[in-house]
Structures are given as structure tokens and as C-alpha cells.
Amino acid sequence: MKTLSQPTLLILSLSLLFLTLHFPPTQAKFAGLGIHRPNSPKQARQLAASAAHDDESGDFVTFYYNQTLDHFNYKPESYTTFRQRYIVNVKHWGGADTNAPILVYFGPEDRIDYAWTDIGFLTENAPHFKALLLYIEHRYYGESVPFGSWEKASRNATSLGYLNSAQAIADYAAIILHVKQTYSAKNSPVIVVGGSYGGMLASWFRLKYPHVAIGALASSAPILYFDGVAPGDGYYSVVTKDFKEDSKSCYETIRRSWVEIERVASKPDGLSLLGKKFKTCRPLRRTFDLKDYLDSMYAEAAQYNEPPEYPVSIVCRAIDGAPDGDVLGQILAGVVAYKGDSSCYDVYDSSPPTASDSAWKWQTCSELVFRIGHDSDTMFPPEPFNINSFTKNCESRFGILPQPHWVTTFYGGHDLKLALRRFASNIIFSNGMRDPYSSGGVLKDISDSIIALSTVNGSHSLDILTSRPSDPDWLIKQRKTELEIIGRWLSKYYTDLVQLK
């Protein structure tokens, strides 16, 4: 993939005319908002996609835009700029003369390195729409870091204070308009696409910048998981449902395991016995750590329960296939099946956090406060979200107080249907009902053009990922419906363009 400087971009334009969340020690962490399940099948999908697109790698060209640090202030330091990475592919673009569309992918809370191979919705549909493809990396992630380095950008709350969703979508607007100007594409309609946190950004962008994008596809976007709009126990209720529907005996074994862990721990050297049983890489300090590890594994398996692997089934087949009577042995079998056979299991995740991990922890401590916890009706021990301990942790870590009401104040959320049907349009909210985050998603149509597409067996952001021969019919149908809806938006835009001219 070629990398071009900004001056080279100008020359080309003349010639040619886009979760681990951090929680207090006593509060469990759930799977983050990333599009992919960590480790597998992410790598498998990336390898397959990379092989399929090796011959196209030269079509994706990287540029850097001198982005404004603070879009909402007029202090001298606000005019500081940083290099924000974006990638363009014009291979299938119909050109400015035909007002061919632009498909924009909003980079979420990670590097954008694999977007052009992983996000098949853009690459596979570029020929259909004759679209220019634009991928934009989120500020503070990957190579798009202000102040010259992550060490300087993360040195304190003042330097991190420019990391928020409002600044991010303002960045996206600036780059989209810059690209349109560069390619003389003034009348090319823009469709923005995002998954998970990126899907939230896509939907919010359509609401805040309707003059820049005519429509948005928001995949697995839990925009209602703020300020108590969606119930806090919804996430783990879906995890529980996924396991119970796969195997009731597996579900019952998991429910019993928490008490069994505490029973063994109460024995002399009980923590040592548990550590040996589960082959932990380091001695267990408390039962919470083991339970949190298992909790996260079950949540992750449910969130990314995609075909043909179906991780929940992998875990449950192993649990059900282990000898009865040894509950913890059955649970260990599930761990081995999901994590792979290893000499030890890193319950404490001793690998150092990446810059992306740290940046996301800032975001979830400041404005993106997900009130997610367990209640007594799930297969997990009761553990409701505790805003007080969450606040103390964020204050200790960053020296800031969370703003749990800001998302609904700035973007809305309460009485969403009543609010959006009055002024909003052209948003697809797609969800897979096996995804725990669907409990915070928009699951019913709001209007004729704010449409909820849900699949019973779908998982997290599966619809925008690169297609595979093994994809089931319901997934193929979901993607086809999305294309048809976007096609209608584009047709209406072109009709309006002619009439208003």
C-alpha cells in the first residue's frame, strides 16, 4: 500500500482532477466494543481477507491530513494541528463527472490498518455503487496521535481532553470535505459506515452533519446504553440467553460453577487449589480474578458468536463433553476449547496495555459511561453497575469525574423515537440478536427511513465484515437489504439534485 505526502496529494489531484474497558477491582469487565473477537477468528479472517485482496493492495493509498486539535475553541492552542491518517481507493469510482458516491468508513477505537481487508461492506460493494472508498482513522489511535507521540498525548488529563466523540466526528467531517474538494466531487453523495463504537459515530454523524453525509449504516451501535436509557442488565441477559439456547445443561453448569469456586476457595490453600485446577500462570490472589476471567470469556464468546465457528457452541460442547460431577473440570474444558490448550492461562492478562487500550479507557471514563452489570436472573453472580466505585476509579486513574449524562444531552437517547422521527432520516441500525450489545441498540423502525434491521442469529457487526463462502442465507439477505436501502437513498438524492438545479 502506497503512502503519499500531502504535497503529492495535491499533484495527484491536479492530474486526476476516509474493550477492554477499565473497571474498579470489584466490578467485572465485559467484552469491549471492538468489531472483532480478540485472537480468533480475527486473525483467520484477516489472513483470508489479506490473501483475497493482495492484488488490490496498491489501490489503497494512505494520506495524512493536518487536522485541527480542537474544533470547538478559539484559544491559541486550539489551532494546533496533528497528522490524521486516511486511506483512499478510487479503483471503482465512477468519477466526479457522474457524481458517483463516496463510501466512508469511520475508524473506531483502534488502528485502521486492517479496515480495507476486514470491512468487506465497502470493498465488495464499491463496484456496485461505483464508489470512492475513504477510511478515516480516529484521533488518538494508530498513527493519528496529537502532540507527536502517545507518551505526550497521554501525559495528563489536559492532553487527553481532546479525545472525545464530538471532536472525532468533527475530524471526519473535515476530512470528508477535504477529499471531496481534492477530487472535485462536490455533488458526490456520502454514505458513512461504522461498526460498534464506529457505528455509534456513524449514526451521530448523520444527526450532527446531515449536510455532509446523506445516510449512515450503523452496525451493532449500542447508542441507548447511556444514562439509563437501556437496562443495565441487558448485556448479560443476552449472554445468558445465548448459552441457555445453545445448551441448557451447559448453562446450568456455568450457573453452579460460581458457588463451587467459592466452596473450593474456602478450603485450606483453596486459592492455590483453584490456581492449579485452572492452570493459572500466576497464583490467584482472590476468587474474583478467576470469576472475572471466566465472565469475560463467556461474554466475548457470545458477543462474537459468528458462523461457522460459533464460539458459544465450542465452549458448551466442551463443558457438556467433560465428565459429570466435576463442575470445575467441566468449566476448565470450556476454557481449553475456547482459549486453546496451553501450559497456563493468563488470568491477570499480564501483557502490557496498548496505546489503543489506554485511549479507550480514557473515553469510557470520561463520556462513554456504559452502565452494564449482572442481575440475579442471569447465569452470573449478581453484580449491578456501581457508579460510585466507577467514578472513584476514574478519578484515581485520570483525575477526572465521568460525565454519564453527556451522551444523551449531546446526541439524544431518551424518547429517541419521538425525537428522531421529527427531523432525522436515512439511518440503518443493524443488529444481531445474539450480540449482547444489541440490548442497547435500536431494534424497531423509527420512521420510513430510520430503519432497524435485526437478525435472530447475528453477532457483533457481522454484516459489515468481509463475506465468506460459509456465510448463512440470513446474513446474505441482511446485507442485500442494506444495499437496497442505500440504493434508494442515492436514487432520491440524484432526483433531488436534478430538481433543485
Give me the active site residues, please.
196, 435, 460
Instruction: Find, among 295, 320, 299, 297, the residue nearest to 381 by Cα.
Output: 295
User: Cα–Cα distances in Å, from 227 out to 70, 100, 205, 224, 363?
Assistant: 26, 40, 20, 8, 15
Cα distance between residue 265 and residue 13, in whole Å? 67
Long-range contacts of 240-243 (CB under 8 A, 24+ apart): 240/377, 240/378, 240/379, 240/380, 242/302, 242/305, 242/312, 242/434, 242/436, 243/298, 243/302, 243/312, 243/315, 243/316, 243/379
CB-CB contact of 194 with 219 (8 Å): yes
C-alpha cell at 162: 481532546
Give dist(CA 333, CA 486) in Å, integer: 45
Closest CA to 236 of 441, 444, 388, 437: 437
The conformation of residue 331, written as its DSSP 8-state character, comes to: H
Are 398 and 365 in contact by the 8 Å Cβ rule? The answer is yes
- 41: preceding bond cis by omega (within 30 degrees): yes
Beta strands in 69-114 (DSSP E): 81-89, 102-106
Amino acid at 59: D
Which residues in 154-234 belong to E strands, given as ranges? 190-195, 215-219
Beta-carbon count within 10 A of 170 CB: 20
Q: Taking a C-beta distance cutoff of 8 angstroms, is the pair 441, 224 a contact?
A: yes
**Other CB atoms within 10 Å distance of the CB of residue 251:** 19
Phi, psi of 483 (to 5 degrees): -65, -40
114 by Cβ neighbours in 10 Å (0-12 / 13-18 / 19+) ranks as middle
Q: Is 339 helix (H, G, I), strand (E, B) or coil?
A: helix
Question: What is the distance of C-alpha 260 from the center of its chain?
Answer: 34
